[in-house]
C-alpha cells in the first residue's frame, strides 16, 4: 500500500477549522479532505464526504454502529483512508473532525489501523478562547453532544482539543486582541502556532457546504448552521457548576450523535464522481506554506498521550503579561480532604483553566488528576505515585514517567506533591495562593504521619466514584 500522510484537523471553532482545511487543500498538491458529519445521526446515519480543492469527489452514508455515531466514524474512517492510500493518487488526507470529536481517540484509531498520522492540528479563533473556556454548559444543551449519554461540557472539550495538538492553526481574527493571543500562548506554550485565514483564502466560506458561515463570537457553529453561544460563566443566566454537580470524567470521544438530519450532499461536478477518479498527481510536489509543512512534519501518538498524563504532562509555566497570568503552585505537603473539598468551588472558578496533579492526606498513595474549565472540575485517580510502588514494579512503568518523577524527586516523599497550574485573565494570584495554602495539612497534622492522615474523613469518595 503506497504511503499516505494523514493530518487531523480538530476544533469547536468551525470558522477556524474550515479556514485551516481550505488552506491545506490550497497549499498541498495531491491533498483531499475526509469529513464525517455526525449531525445526521438522529436519522440513523453518518454522512461522509471526500473532497479536494475543486469540489466533492465522493459522498455517502454509513449506518450507525450500535446506535453510536462515533463508533460508525471509527469503523468507516480507517477503511476510507486505506482506500485512498491504495489508489495512490493522494499525498495528504486531511481528516476534518466534526465539532466536538476529540483528536486523541481518532489519532490512536488511525495509527492502530496501520496508517501514518503526520500531524494533529487544532484550529483556534483567539477571540473565542475565553467564551469557550468559560462555558460550563453541557454539549447537549448546545446541540454539540456526540451521544445521548455525552456528559462533556463545551469548556472541557475545547480545552482537551486545544492541549492535545502540538500545532495550533490560529485564525487571523479581527476581533482578537493582545490579551486573547497571550491567553492562547500561556494555555499551550509548547504548541507551534501557525496563522491561517489570509486574504487569499475564503476565510468566511465553508469549504464543506459552500454556505457563508458567521464569525460573530456570540455564535457557535454546528454543521452549516449558526446557533447562539451559551452565556459565559460569569453571566447570571449561566451559574458555574458547583462541585456537587461536577460530572464524572468522560471517556475520550463518547459515542453517538444527535442533530438535525439532512440529505447526503451530491456531487455537482460529474468529473469528480468516484467512478471517474482525478488524474494522477505528480510525485511529492513541494508544499507551499508553513501550515503545509506542519501537516507533513510527523506525529508521535505515544508521546502525545504521555504529554497529557498528569504524572508527566507538559504543563504551562509561570507567566504574567497583557493582563493574563499563569500561576504554578507546587508544594510537598498533602491536602486536608475536607478543607480542600469545602474550597473546591472557589478554587475551580478562580481561573479560566486549571490542571495538574494533587495529593490527598487520606489517600497518600494515589496520584490524583485535577482538570477544571468553565467552572466545572473533573477529579480522577491516575494510579499510584511511583514512591508507593515496590522497586520491582518500576520496570513496568513507562520510561517517560520514570524520567518525570526523577526530575521532581523528594528524598522523603518521592514524587508525591501538589503541582497545579492556573491560567486566566485577571487572576488573583495572591488570593488563590492563600486559599490553596489554607487547604494543606497544618504543621501538627503533618507531623502526625501517614497512619494518622489515613484516618482523616474522606471527602472525595463521591467524585472519585469510590
CB of 31 closer than 8 Å to CB of 285:
no
Return the bridge partners of 49, or none. 35, 59
Q: Where are the beta strands (DSSP E) in 172-251?
A: 192-196, 219-222, 225-228
Q: How far is CA 376 from CA 248, 314, 367, in A?
A: 11, 22, 20
CB of 297 closer than 8 Å to CB of 166:
no
Task: Report d(CA 460, CA 84) in Å as an integer.
Answer: 49
CB of 75 closer than 8 Å to CB of 62:
yes
CB of 98 closer than 8 Å to CB of 35:
yes
The per-residue pLDDT for 93 is 97
CB of 46 closer than 8 Å to CB of 64:
yes
Helix, strand, or coil (residue 99): coil
CB of 97 closer than 8 Å to CB of 37:
no
The per-residue pLDDT for 347 is 97
Return the bridge partners of 92, or none. 5, 31
Task: Report d(CA 32, CA 14) in Å as an integer.
Answer: 18
Owner of C-alpha cell 501537516: 295
Say what the alpha-carbon torsion angle 38, 113, 110, 51 is, to the nearest 10 degrees.
Answer: -60
Please provide the DSSP assignment of 401-424 as one string: HHHHHHHT-BTTTBT--EEEEEEE
The per-residue pLDDT for 284 is 56
Task: Report d(CA 378, CA 419) in Å as an integer.
Answer: 16
Helix, strand, or coil (residue 172): coil
Owner of C-alpha cell 444543551: 141
pTM, two decimals, is: 0.80
Say what the alpha-carbon torsion angle 229, 234, 235, 240 is, to the nearest 10 degrees.
Answer: 80
Please provide the DSSP assignment of 272-331 as one string: GSTTSPPPPPPSSPPP-SHHHHHHTS---HHHHHHTTSTTT------EEETTEEEEEEEE
The per-residue pLDDT for 97 is 96
Task: Report d(CA 104, CA 305) in Å as an integer.
Answer: 8
The per-residue pLDDT for 144 is 87
Sequence-ordered alpha helix ranges (H) in 114-177: 129-133, 154-164
CB of 312 closer than 8 Å to CB of 419:
no
Task: Report d(CA 328, CA 317) in Å as an integer.
Answer: 6
Length reported for the chain: 466
Task: Report d(CA 195, CA 175) in Å as an integer.
Answer: 15
Owner of C-alpha cell 482523616: 456
The per-residue pLDDT for 322 is 98
- Those residues with Cβ within 8 angstroms of residue 153's Cβ, 6 or more apart along the chain or in another chain: 135, 136, 137, 138, 139, 241, 247, 373, 374, 376
Q: Is the dihedral of CA 103, 120, 302, 411 positive or negative?
A: negative
Owner of C-alpha cell 504521619: 449
The per-residue pLDDT for 163 is 96
Task: Report d(CA 53, CA 206) in Å as an integer.
Answer: 12
pLDDT in 10s for each residue of the chain, 466 residues: 568 999 999 999 999 999 999 999 999 999 999 999 888 776 777 889 999 999 999 998 887 776 666 777 778 899 999 999 999 999 999 999 999 999 999 999 999 999 999 999 999 999 999 999 999 999 988 888 877 778 899 999 999 999 999 999 999 999 999 999 999 999 999 999 999 985 444 433 333 333 333 333 333 333 333 333 433 334 433 333 333 333 333 333 333 333 333 333 333 333 334 444 444 444 555 557 999 999 999 999 999 999 999 999 889 999 999 999 999 999 999 999 999 999 999 999 999 999 999 999 999 999 999 999 999 999 999 999 999 999 889 888 889 999 999 988 999 999 999 999 999 999 999 999 999 999 999 999 999 999 999 999 999 988 887 5
Task: Report d(CA 455, CA 466) in Å as an integer.
Answer: 16
Question: Which H/E stretch holds residue 377?
Answer: strand 376-384
Task: Report d(CA 357, CA 313) in Å as an integer.
Answer: 9
Amino acid at each position: 500500500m503506497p504511503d499516505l500522510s494523514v493530518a487531523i484537523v480538530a476544533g469547536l471553532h468551525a470558522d477556524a477549522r474550515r479556514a485551516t482545511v481550505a488552506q491545506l487543500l490550497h497549499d498541498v498538491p495531491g491533498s483531499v479532505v475526509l469529513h464525517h458529519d455526525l449531525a445526521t445521526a438522529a436519522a440513523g446515519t453518518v454522512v461522509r464526504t471526500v473532497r479536494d480543492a475543486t469540489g466533492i469527489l465522493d459522498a455517502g452514508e454509513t449506518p450507525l454502529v450500535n446506535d453510536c455515531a462515533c463508533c460508525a466514524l471509527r469503523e468507516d474512517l480507517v477503511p476510507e483512508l486505506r482506500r485512498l492510500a491504495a489508489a495512490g493518487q493522494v499525498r495528504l488526507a486531511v481528516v476534518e473532525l466534526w465539532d466536538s470529536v476529540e483528536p486523541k481517540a481518532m489519532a490512536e484509531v488511525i495509527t492502530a489501523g496501520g496508517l501514518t498520522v503526520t500531524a494533529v492540528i487544532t484550529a483556534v479563533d483567539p477571540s473565542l478562547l475565553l467564551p469557550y473556556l468559560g462555558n460550563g454548559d453541557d454539549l447537549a444543551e448546545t446541540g454539540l453532544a456526540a451521544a445521548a449519554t455525552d456528559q462533556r461540557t463545551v469548556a472541557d472539550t475545547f480545552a482537551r482539543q486545544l492541549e492535545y495538538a502540538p500545532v495550533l492553526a490560529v485564525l487571523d481574527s479581527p476581533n482578537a486582541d493582545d490579551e486573547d493571543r497571550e491567553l492562547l500562548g500561556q494555555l499551550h506554550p509548547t504548541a507551534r502556532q501557525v496563522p491561517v485565514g489570509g486574504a487569499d483564502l475564503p476565510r468566511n466560506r465553508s469549504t464543506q457546504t459552500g454556505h457563508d458561515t458567521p464569525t460573530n463570537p456570540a455564535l457557535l457553529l454546528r454543521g452549516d448552521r449558526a446557533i447562539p453561544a451559551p452565556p459565559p460563566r460569569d453571566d447570571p443566566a449561566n451559574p458555574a457548576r458547583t462541585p456537587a454537580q461536577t460530572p464524572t470524567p468522560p471517556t475520550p470521544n463518547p459515542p453517538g450523535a444527535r442533530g438535525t438530519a439532512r440529505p447526503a450532499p451530491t456531487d455537482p461536478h460529474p468529473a469528480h464522481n468516484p467512478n471517474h477518479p482525478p488524474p494522477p498527481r505528480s510525485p511529492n510536489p513541494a508544499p507551499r506554506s508553513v501550515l503545509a509543512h506542519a501537516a507533513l512534519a510527523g506525529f508521535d501518538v505515544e508521546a502525545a498521550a504521555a504529554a497529557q498524563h498528569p504524572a508527566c504532562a507538559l504543563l504551562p509555566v509561570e507567566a504574567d503579561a497583557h493582563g493574563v497570568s499563569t500561576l504554578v503552585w507546587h508544594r510537598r505537603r498533602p491536602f486536608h480532604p475536607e478543607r480542600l473539598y469545602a474550597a473546591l468551588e472557589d478554587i475551580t472558578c478562580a481561573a479560566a483553566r486549571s490542571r495538574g496533579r494533587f495529593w490527598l492526606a487520606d489517600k497518600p498513595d494515589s496520584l490524583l488528576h485535577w482538570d477544571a474549565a468553565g467552572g466545572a472540575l473533573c477529579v480522577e485517580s491516575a494510579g499510584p505515585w511511583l514512591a508507593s510502588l515496590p522497586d520491582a514494579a518500576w520496570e513496568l512503568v513507562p520510561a517517560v514517567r520514570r524520567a518525570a518523577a526523577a526530575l521532581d524527586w523528594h528524598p522523603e516523599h518521592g514524587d508525591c506533591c501538589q503541582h497545579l497550574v492556573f491560567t486566566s485573565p485577571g487572576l488573583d494570584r495572591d488570593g488563590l495562593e492563600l486559599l490553596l495554602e489554607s487547604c494543606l495539612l497544618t504543621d501538627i497534622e503533618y507531623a502526625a504521619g501517614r497512619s494518622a492522615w489515613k484516618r482523616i474523613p474522606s471527602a472525595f469518595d463521591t467524585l472519585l466514584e469510590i
